[in-house]
Structure 1
Amino acid sequence: MSIYRIGIDVGGTNTDAVILDEELNVIAETKSPTTDDVSTGIYKALEAVIASSTIPPSEIKYAMLGTTHCTNAIVERKRLNSIGIIRLGAPATLAVKPLIGVPDDLRDILGKFVYIVRGGHEFDGREIMPLDEEELYNIANQLKDKVDSVAITSVFSPVSRDHEERAAAIMREVLGEDLPVSLSCEIGSVGLLERENATILNASVVNVAKTTIHGFVNALKEEGINARVFLGQNDGTLMSVEYALKYPILTVACGPTNSLRGASYLTGHSDAIVVDVGGTTTDVGVLVSSFPRESSLAVEIGGARTNFRMPDLVSVGLGGGTIIRIRDNGEFTIGPDSVGYQLTEKALVFGGDTLTATDVVVALGKADIGDPSKVQHLEHDVIVNVYKEMISMVEIAIDKMKTSADSVPVIVVGGGSILLPESLEGTSEVIQPNNHGVANAIGSAISQVSGQVERVFSLEELGREKTIELAKQMAISEAVTAGADKDTCEIVDIEDVPLAYLPGNATRVRVKAAGSLAQ
């Protein structure tokens, strides 16, 4: 009996689905408009891709989902958990309250139960103050029946996580073992405020993730599929359901990373720039050893400043559904708004009344979609100028992502890639692989499972070699916990930065391991 896998990726415009065989060949693919509630679009794509294949549903053993549910919840301020926010750091951190760098409207939703408790550590691992356990018990009793998750952040917990773990144990003792507790030492890197925000956001989307995952599992069962389910995370790898429920924030920005991984797989290129053109935006990212290059900057999610790992991307407001506005004098604007998943209703070539980027390429004869006669009235010279500006937007984004002036290979994927020509300024070649329109779903389906560790170690204890080896084993252990086969795990990225301002020959070590799905 063959073993197949299904990959689904939810975009702003389309929800894509593919079925791959054991050799990772594409057996079936489909695009379905993303729906307002997102879930309906997933179910429709699932039904369509199964219907278009002749594979018995019982032979599909793995199902991978790349979803925007958690991102949307934060951006739209909807369906967020009621959370308790606890910072362990008094009296050292009283000057700056939690939720700094978070927009007012989001702070109003999340900041109803905020506490700063005595505790935390210095940068060298010494206690600032002993942990105030009595106060934590009082807080836990105050939070009873008022919150459905808790975010705990301690000063320098990447150096010492003892206080966070003890605080979590107290919360669960009073509020129940099933209470989701997010610990900052497991989510963000060094830097209190951004790490705290990332932890708070993680706690806020636990219920959204739970609803999404259970809905996906039920949809699979309705189709007769009893598969192991994995979710895409934003470093281009997968995580198990249990891991995703604990760290749902890691699904943020998994769509573009799935496209990068899919582009690498479809072309065989491990190092290139990838341009993913959707219906709403064009995302430009960089492949390094077949994985997305990681951003070294603090990243904003829904306006909140965070510091957990995110792909290094430039997003441009240009996609197949981008609205073009032309004035009487020939001046024009491109986006940034889009008709999104309503492209087939609103674009001129489909009988609608809105001029979109898709209409522009059809009018210039660069694509054959819809009814070209409906865009014949457009003034040719103006449309040519609009198209030149569209291409320029993408070329500037590519230039921003390059680390040298040399020409580089560019892989173009996504349903909106018909917008782009066969050559672009600053590129050595433009590659558009087969199945490019569903590269994101393919990236979701072919991904490995990873684990990452980022901690500050004192090299005086073990020495550099043994410390690095310990970090590698911890990363492999994380990958196995997330669903990887231990025998296939290998280290895919390692970085150690000496911290000159810390005693004890301290070094920040970041190690990432990845492996194939455990059978």
Structure 2
Amino acid sequence: MKYRLGIDVGGTNTDGVLLDREMHVIHSLKTPTTSDVESGIYHTISKLIAESNVSAKDIEFAMLGTTQCTNAIVERKNLNKVAIIRIGAPADNAIKPLAGVPEDIKSILNNHTYIVEGGHEFNGEEIAPLDEEKIREIAAELKGKVDSIAITSIFSPVNKTHESQVETILREVLGEDVSISLSSEVGSIGLLERENATILNASIIKVAKMTAEGFEHALKSNGIHAKVFFCQNDGTLMSKAYTLKYPILTVACGPTNSLRGASFLTENKDAVIVDVGGTTTDIGVLVKGFPRQSSIAVELGGVRTNFRMPDINSIGLGGGTIIRVDGENFTVGPDSVGHRLQDEALVFGGATLTATDVAVALGKVQLGDPKKLQHLDRQLLSNIYQRMVEMVEEAIDKIKTSADDTAVIFVGGGSVLLPDKINGASCVLHPENGGVANAIGSAISQISGEIEKIYAISKENRQEILDGARQLAIEETVAAGADPEKVEIVDMENIPLAYLPGNATRVKVKAAGDLALA
């Protein structure tokens, strides 16, 4: 029997699950997330193997979902030394790179910024020839000063020739030791947001490498020699090489894994998912089994970007949320004791009133020693609990696109705190193993491929162009490791761009398929 291992590293807990080839849950568990992450992953894997009696050599796939890249951007820690090259002068000189980016991150990244001649029009025609000589001068200047480079060109998602030429020149001079990020492969149409996304991608490659190597080391230390994949934020997987090239795609993969896991556990492909952790509650929407994508530019660490992100509404409510009481008044969060819950919560002998204490005192869940909560005023606790439920109901209303009641699925370790009935829900589901839905989501993930291009579409060539775009997405999915027999188109949109001439249409196609088994 062969198995797949799913690990999801959250801010509070590291969750692990083992599935067999038929996707049955063999065993699951939670362990506290450690400050160095790797040791927490090691202990989770070690405990899973010991408690499930599964042989390490029988694990053929290992998947990791992690928040490390997100945290690096938010906390401004362990970022690469990045050079920024924009291709588009003289057309794009008005607004410089890093416009609107917070000063603290700008001070880390803005040491080497260049704008050179080149770029393309919306239809792929050249604005100006690429200044190759200038690129060679820049490459010589950067040697030994940076370890990552972000390259952006005007309308490169339509024609990435100049970005590719710059990469080739840089490689000739700098070799393979410097990481290079191309905006045409990271973001979508929209120069400044795409450029920002590319810069952030270039800045976290070092963190991604440390995380990937840490995961591999934890696996090998447990005797596991599986094929390794990493979770991206559309609910699908990518290889280590792909992850090291596009680490930005791991951002928000945790909530996405929870959505996919909830869909799998309930066999429900269209619902609102409420993932209650130790610190936050993340609410997202399932559409045909995949997370609904955000349709607007997304801010990450104060930086406005346009790379693909799930539409997630997060609130400061979780099992470790701190409750402050002043007479009859109280506040719920947004801060949390996080992974210190079993040390600091009243029910475990600590001195901090938390959301978990409130639920235990009211008999909603059985944990710790309820006798330690007998001194609390029951009416006040009821008022606090009601406010907690209202916070979730309000968050669900904000993410719904219709006033109609909808199916709601509660998952995550903190979901036991919430009731079986809430306003705005046609039904509330608490699936078995929902506490580790994020790890299950990582273990069941498929391989995906996505293309986004602008075409000049007419009545005569419309079908031919759309069929070609579908085929490109399928080929990219198979190349990433999917079974050719099990790839299908899961999303497709074509939007006419009225502000551009020549029947310009943005075509975006996504395909997904199961992993190709050995």
Please indicate, yes or no, whether the TM-score normalized by the shorter chain is above 0.5: yes
Contact in 1 for aligned 2:39/2:218 (Cα 8 Å) = no
Aligned to 1:387: 385
**Cα displacement (A) at 1:462:** 7.7
How far residue 460 of structure 1 moved from its aligned partner, in angstroms, is 5.3
Which residue in 2 is equivalent to 1:501?
Answer: 499
Question: Aligned runs of 1:16-415 on 2, under 5 Å?
Answer: 16-328=15-327, 330-415=328-413
Q: Give the conservation status (yes or no) of the 8 Å contact 2:123–2:455.
A: no
Q: 1:407 to 1:470 in 2, by over 3 A?
A: same
Q: Which amino acid in the other structure matches residue 106 of structure 1?
A: I
Paired with 2:128 and 2:193, the residues of 1 have a C-alpha distance of 22
Q: Secondary structure at the match of 2:7?
A: strand
Contact 1:124 1:502 in 2 (8 A): no
AA partner of residue 93 (structure 1): D
Give me the whole-angstrom Cα distance separating, in 2, the residues matched to 1:51 and 1:453. 43
Runs of 4+ in 1 over 3 A off after TM superposition: none
Provide the C-alpha distance between the structure 2 equivalents of 1:171 and 1:283, rounded to a whole number of angstroms.
41
Separation (CA, whole Å) in 2 of partners of 1:313 and 1:448: 21
Pick aligned residue for 1:432 from 422, 430, 433? 430
Name the structure 2 match of 1:417.
Answer: 415
Please give the alpha-carbon distance, in whole angstroms, between the structure 2 residues aligned to 1:256 and 1:285.
Answer: 8
Q: Which amino acid aligns with 1:217?
A: E
Specify which of 432, 446, 461 is matched with residue 448 of structure 1: 446
SS at match of 1:193: helix
| 1:404 aligned counterpart, secondary structure | coil
- SS of 1:52 mapped into structure 2: helix
Separation of aligned partners in 2, 1:395 and 1:461: 47
Q: What is the DSSP-based 3-state SS (H/G/I as helix, E as strand, rest coil) of the residue aligned with 2:172?
A: helix
Using the TM superposition, give the Cα deviation of residue 461 of structure 1 relative to its aligned residue in structure 2, in angstroms. Answer: 11
Question: Partner of 2:466 in structure 1?
Answer: 468
Q: CA shift at 1:501, angstroms? A: 2.5
Give SS of 1:487's match: strand
The aligned counterpart of 1:514 is 512
- Change in CA separation of 1:441 and 1:353 when aligned onto 2, cut-off 3 Å: same
Using the alignment, how far apart are the partners of 1:496 and 1:101 within structure 2? 30
Q: Distance in 1 between matches of 2:101 and 2:314?
A: 22
**Post-superposition CA distance 1:417-476 (Å, at most 9, x none):** 022101010101100010010000000000111011111112259811111111112111
Task: Work out the CA distance in 1 between the residues paired with 2:96 and 2:46.
Answer: 48
Letter in 1 for 2:438: N
Judge conservation of contact 2:38–2:218 (CA < 8 Å) in 1. Answer: no
Contact 1:287 1:293 in 2 (8 A): yes
Amino acid of the structure 1 residue aligned with 2:200: L
Range 345-354 or range 122-131, more displaced: 122-131
Q: Is the 8 A contact 2:256 2:291 kept in 1?
A: yes
Give the deviation of 1:142 after TM superposition: 0.7
- Name the CA distance, whole Å, in 2 between partners of 1:112 and 1:341: 38
Check conservation: 1:88, 1:155, Cα contact below 8 A. Answer: yes
> Aligned letter for 1:420?
L
TM-score (norm 2): 0.98
SS in 2 for 1:511: strand
SS in 1 for 2:159: coil
2:88 match: secondary structure:
strand
Instruction: Note the C-alpha offset of 1:251.
Output: 0.3
Cα distance between partner residues in 2 of 1:461 and 1:73? 48
**Residues of 1 paired with 2:51 and 2:112: CA distance?**
50
Report the Cα distance in structure 1 between the residues aligned to 2:462 and 2:509, rounded to whole angstroms.
14
Distance in 1, matches of 2:44 and 2:304, equals: 34
Change (3 A) 1:515 1:178: farther
The code of the aligned residue for 2:158 comes to V
- Provide the rounded CA distance (Å) in 2 between the counterparts of 1:370 and 1:427: 31
Could you report, residue by residue, the CA deviation over 1:153-197 in whole angstroms, capped at 9, with x for unpaired residues?
A: 001111211111111111111110343211101111100111001
Deviation at 1:35, TM superposition (A): 1.5
The answer on whether the counterparts of 2:147 and 2:177 sit within 8 Å (CA) in structure 1 is no
Contact between 1:460 and 1:504, CA under 8 Å: does it hold in 2? no
Aligned mates of 1:178, 1:465 — CA distance in 2:
43
User: Does the aligned pair in 2 maintain the 1:81–1:204 contact within 8 Å?
Assistant: yes
User: What do residues 118-177 of structure 1 show as CA deviations (whole Å, max 9, x unaligned)?
Assistant: 111222323222111111100111110111111000011112111111111111111103
2:185 and 2:459 map into 1 onto residues whose CA distance is 22
Describe the SS at the equivalent of 1:489: strand
- Look up the equivalent residue of 2:351 and give its one-letter code: D
Find the residue that maps to 2:41 and give its secondary structure: helix
Give the letter for the 1:495 counterpart.
Answer: E
Deviates more, 1:43-52 or 1:64-73: 43-52
Displacement of 1:268: 0.5
Aligned equivalents of 2:484, 2:242: Cα separation in 1 = 16
The Cα of 1:270 is off from its aligned counterpart by 0.7
Superposed CA RMSD in Å reads: 1.2
Distance 1:165 1:461 in 2: 32
Report how many residues are paired.
Answer: 517
Q: Is contact 2:67-2:254 (8 Å) kept?
A: yes
TM-score w.r.t. the length of structure 1 is 0.98
Preserved CA contact (<8 Å) 1:243 1:481? no
SS of residue paired to 1:190: coil
Q: Distance in 1 between matches of 2:100 and 2:393?
A: 32
Q: Residue type of the partner of 1:483?
A: G
**Distance in 2 of aligned mates of 1:259 and 1:156:** 35
Q: In the aligned structure 2, how far is the partner of 1:47 from the partner of 1:99?
A: 44
